[in-house]
């Protein structure tokens, strides 16, 4: 009924074009007086979408539209117009789903879900690295987008880059450090390791209950018994790295570089490896004794060198890993457990070979 009355009013308005100018002026005066009276009775008249549409259209075709306003304000009409503009571009910018998705896209989504479920500590870079080694052409951003749907509420992993000369001249640089691991009965085992900056390769590691400067010196001789390319060794200001350790390094042709006070970021490569070792191994097991820890570290270092993709190595392990190719459509991706099932390596499996 309301629409019918508005249609009649619009039809009558068109009829005003044929009235005399004096009649139109008198009728406008009367209408304005009636509108003013209505405005006193109801200061805020309710306007519908039809009213907004009419006034927004008049604003575009009639220059004197502001002079005819009584109930509305110019800012209100402009706001309606801008709101319509936003809705228009929101419609234009909507996500258009592709009608035909390839089989490989579905397989990728399935693989991302599988890797995320089987490896809770993996982020988008690690999963992306595994997919690259399987020969898939996919961006890390795509993996991150699907991973956000699988793990809502989890922020993307952060990567603190070592921005200094170490990244430019890293081929001849290594770092060493200790970290402590408690046993089942709360005894402390000290883990010593040496890591190379260039390929993030762990050159040497060992564990002990009683670390001394003499013991560290013997570990350095074992690590660099053969010819090596290390020119600089970075280590913190722990008292165990005494003058004896410095003299041992000097005898091996390696220059010592100690970090500043309270500046662990200056030995970022070593600190990062400690964090990876804890998150990916030590936080998930209870160490029984020294031999148990030694065995687990050996398995983890082997996995770290050969299988684990690295963000700073263009998604390649320290010892490199070839990109596998899918030979036929019947090939399936299988997971090979690593480090007692804490991690996995993914590869193609051919049914014909089986």
User: What is the chain's length?
Assistant: 354
Q: What is the mean pLDDT of the chain?
A: 80
314: left (phi over 0), alpha (psi -120 to 50) or beta: left
Cα 87 from chain centroid (whole Å): 30
Give the model's confidence band at 141: pLDDT under 50 very low, under 70 low, under 90 confident, else very high. confident
What pLDDT is stored for residue 158 in this prediction? 44
The b-or-e profile of 135-158 (16+ CB within 10 A means b, else e) is ebebebebbbebbeeeeeeeeeee
User: Which is more confident, 118 or 82?
Assistant: 118
Instruction: Give the separation between CA 14 and CA 1, rounded to whole angstroms.
Output: 20
Helix (H) or strand (E) run with residue 344 in it = strand 343-349
For residues 285-302, give the mean pLDDT. Answer: 95
Question: Which of 43-57, 199-213, 258-272 comes out lowest in average pLDDT?
Answer: 43-57
Give the model's confidence band at 322: pLDDT under 50 very low, under 70 low, under 90 confident, else very high. very high
CATH of domain 165-313: 3.30.420.10
Sketch the domain layout of the chain as residue ranges.
19-87, 104-154+330-349, 165-313
Over residues 152-194, the pLDDT tens digits come to 765 444 444 444 455 545 678 999 999 999 998 899 999 999 9
Query: Would you say the C-alpha torsion 325, 327, 333, 337 has a positive or negative sign?
Result: negative
Helix (H) or strand (E) run with residue 177 in it = strand 173-182
What pLDDT is stored for residue 218 in this prediction? 97
Q: Is the pLDDT of residue 148 over 50?
A: yes
Share of the chain above pLDDT 90, in %: 42
SS3 content of the chain, % helix, strand, coil (to 5): 50, 15, 35
Angstrom distances, CA of residue 245 to CA of 196, 210, 240: 18, 16, 8
């Amino acid at each position: 009924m309301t629409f019918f009355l508005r249609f009649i009013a619009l039809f009558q308005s068109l009829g005003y074009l044929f009235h005399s100018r004096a009649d139109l002026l008198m009728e406008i005066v009367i209408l304005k007086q009636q509108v003013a009276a209505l405005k006193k009775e109801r200061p805020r008249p309710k306007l519908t979408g039809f009213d907004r549409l009419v006034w927004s259209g008049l604003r575009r075709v009639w220059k004197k539209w502001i002079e005819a306003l009584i109930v509305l304000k110019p800012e209100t009409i402009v706001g309606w117009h801008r709101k319509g503009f936003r809705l228009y571009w929101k419609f234009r910018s909507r996500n258009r789903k592709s009608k035909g998705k390839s089989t490989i896209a579905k397989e990728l989504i399935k693989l991302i879900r599988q890797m995320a479920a089987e490896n809770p500590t993996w982020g988008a870079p690690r999963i992306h690295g595994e997919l690259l080694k399987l020969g898939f052409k996919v961006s890390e951003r795509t993996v991150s987008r699907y991973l956000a749907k699988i793990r809502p509420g989890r922020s993307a992993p952060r990567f603190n880059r070592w921005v200094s000369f170490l990244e430019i001249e890293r081929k001849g640089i290594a770092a060493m450090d200790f970290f402590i691991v408690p046993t089942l009965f709360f005894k402390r085992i000290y883990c010593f390791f040496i890591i190379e900056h260039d390929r993030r390769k762990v050159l040497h590691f060992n564990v002990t209950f009683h670390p001394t400067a003499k013991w560290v010196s013997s570990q350095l001789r074992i690590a660099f018994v053969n010819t090596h390319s290390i020119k600089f060794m970075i280590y913190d200001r722990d008292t165990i790295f005494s003058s004896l350790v410095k003299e041992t390094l000097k005898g091996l042709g390696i220059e010592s570089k100690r970090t500043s006070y309270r500046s662990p970021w200056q030995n970022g490569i070593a600190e990062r490896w400690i964090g990876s070792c804890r998150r990916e191994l030590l936080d998930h097991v209870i160490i029984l004794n020294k031999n148990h820890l030694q065995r687990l570290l050996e398995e983890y270092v082997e996995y770290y060198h050969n299988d684990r993709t690295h963000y700073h190595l263009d998604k390649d392990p320290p010892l490199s890993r070839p990109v596998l190719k899918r030979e036929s459509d019947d090939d399936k991706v299988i997971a090979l457990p690593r480090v007692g099932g804490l991690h996995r390596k993914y590869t193609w499996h051919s049914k014909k070979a089986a």
